[in-house]
Amino acid sequence: MLGGAAAVVGAAAVSACAPLSPLLPQGPVNPPRRTERRRVVVIGTGFGGSVTALRLAQSGVDVTLIERGRRWASGDRSTFPTMFAPDRRVSWLSERNSATERLFPTLPGAAWQPYTGLLERINGQGMDAVCAAGVGGGSLPYHGMSLQPRGDIFDSVMPAELDYTEFDSRWYPLVRNALGATPIPDDVLASARYSSSRQFIEAVRNAGLPEAHGVPMPIDWEVVRQELRGEIAPSITIGDVIYGVNGPGKKSLDTNYLPAAEATGRVELLALHRVDRVRRDDQGHWAVSMERIATNGAVLELVELVADALFFCAGSPNTTKLLVRSAALGDIGDLPEDVGDYWSTNGDLLTSQILSHPTGINQGGPASIASLDWDNPAGPVSVLYAPLPLKQEFNFMQVIGIFIPDGHGRFSYDSATDQARLRFPASAHGAALAEARRRVAKVGAAAGAVASIDMTATDPVTYHALGGAVIGKVCDGYGRVLGQRGLYVNDGALIPGSTGCVNPSLTIAALAERNIDHVVRNDLGSVF
């Protein structure tokens, strides 16, 4: 979850064939072409792709890992833009922070030169989706709340093929350990910089909701202590983390899974390669067509990789868009008819509570405190606090709810634009959203709110997109696309719209670990 206005659990490696604007640099008129053979191609370097590449490589498989975005120098002091000084590094090949493209509609539009920036906003009917670009995918800008759902809630939203007991005993602990995710320490929470987090805890208590507490975070808390002591420049402790942390301390995928994968010597990571089309060739192999691009979007080369096995790990929106378009164009024959369906928002609700008293500036981050109101007869809702890097006092507290959506939207092919387009009906949120709003408003009132801004109502957008190629409809219980030998999905597209009132990154990674473990044991040496 991105505090302030955005969240990303699910990474994307493709723009799903979106044509470049005429204003974007076009590169050579006739860029060079090449075709090469590979054993396995993985599209995307987010949670699904990073897990998949690492475990395949550790099993002795040579992997080509494709990422549309660039490598970012995580841990450096000026790598990422800051929340209130966005620049072209924010946005994926956009010419300006325009009304339809801007990630933060409250900020003024600004023209800039197109750049392979961190986030892409995909416009839909009734709902937009924001997804990440860059080596490490959504782990670069996300806060990192690594929450595990409770078993009964997991079972109510996840496909029947998934056994919660197995996840609880094996896959969730494996991922938490790999990410180094631990709750905020008491001494950090007690510091002056985190006074707004303590105010939120008190408001939750006064509202009669379950006690708010710290949740596992992929943060090096000793680095946070160094910031608090003034030994290093602050970034995490002033809440300026939504586009990435300018300094050490954030355990994004490019600090754990990905370097471990590359250290095997079996992973070829191709950054700035944008997948344009996927098809099955006459020999039954998977042909992946892509553009090698410059950071300004210019196409430098056209590349086709032909592989025995292909793993879609581009994040729910872009995995779905590619599959929907492949089906419509006949590039992949006989794809299941439910491709594009069972898509939803994971129940995102973003609100800003304006209080009658100070909440502090440079509110200590990242978002690490939650009340898990899961036994309420009206339905489970999680209520989270998202600190902000405010430079002056606004009496401002951002409170986020996560609920279970009532229904789903669908990506369908639009021949006029040659794109897969999202349609998300209002009924897909319905009563569950209304109840989440009531729960969040209760916390706001207990905090002394004099006004509330419902950002989900004013700007319908999700940063936790899920579904589109779900287990039991499009894929089997381990991500194999039905009827398509050697074709796999291993990301949030497998999950039908909700991970059970928690941020989805931990569940996506745990599911990817489970799936690739099974595939390695059963398909390696026979399918690929």
Report the CATH number at residue 285.
3.50.50.60
Structurally, the chain folds into a number of domains equal to 1
Q: What is the pLDDT along the chain (528 residues), one digit of tens a residue?
A: 443 333 322 333 333 333 334 444 567 788 999 999 999 999 999 999 999 999 999 999 999 999 999 999 999 999 999 988 888 899 999 876 554 455 555 455 667 789 999 999 999 999 999 999 999 999 999 999 999 999 999 999 999 999 999 999 999 999 999 999 999 999 999 999 999 999 999 999 999 999 999 999 999 999 999 999 999 999 999 999 989 999 999 999 999 999 999 999 999 999 999 999 999 999 999 999 999 999 999 999 999 999 999 999 999 999 999 999 999 999 999 999 999 999 999 999 999 999 999 999 999 999 999 999 999 999 999 999 999 999 999 999 999 999 999 999 999 999 999 999 999 999 999 999 999 999 999 999 999 999 999 999 999 999 999 999 999 999 999 999 999 999 999 999 999 999 999 999 999 999 999 999 999 999 999 999
The per-residue b/e assignment along 38-58, b for 16 or more CB within 10 angstroms, e otherwise, is: bebbbbbbbbbbbbbbbbbbe
Token digits of residue 470: 């779900």
Residue 495 Ramachandran class (φ > 0 left, ψ -120 to 50 alpha, else beta): beta
Q: Quick check: 206 and 446 in contact, CB under 8 A?
A: yes
Domain assignment present for residue 16? The answer is: no
Domain assignment present for residue 4? The answer is: no
Domain assignment present for residue 415? The answer is: yes
Domain assignment present for residue 409? The answer is: yes
Q: How far apart are CA 91 and CA 173, in angstroms?
A: 34
Amino acid at 258: L
According to DSSP, residue 138 is labeled G
Range of the domain at 482: 35-523
Q: Quick check: 309 and 38 in contact, CB under 8 A?
A: no
For residue 158, the Cα-to-chain-centroid distance in whole angstroms is: 18
pTM value is 0.94
Q: How far apart are CA 97 and CA 427, in angstroms?
A: 30
Domain assignment present for residue 168? The answer is: yes
Write out the E strands in 4-143.
33-43, 63-66, 119-122, 128-132
Q: Is 456 helix (H, G, I), strand (E, B) or coil?
A: helix
Domain assignment present for residue 5? The answer is: no
CA distances from 121 to 169, 232, 307, 333 (A): 36, 34, 30, 29
Domain assignment present for residue 15? The answer is: no
At a CB cut-off of 8 Å and minimum separation 6, what does 1 contact?
A: 7, 9, 142, 143, 145, 367, 384, 386, 400, 463, 464, 503
Domain assignment present for residue 22? The answer is: no
Q: How far apart are CA 144 and CA 218, in angstroms?
A: 6
According to DSSP, residue 363 is labeled -
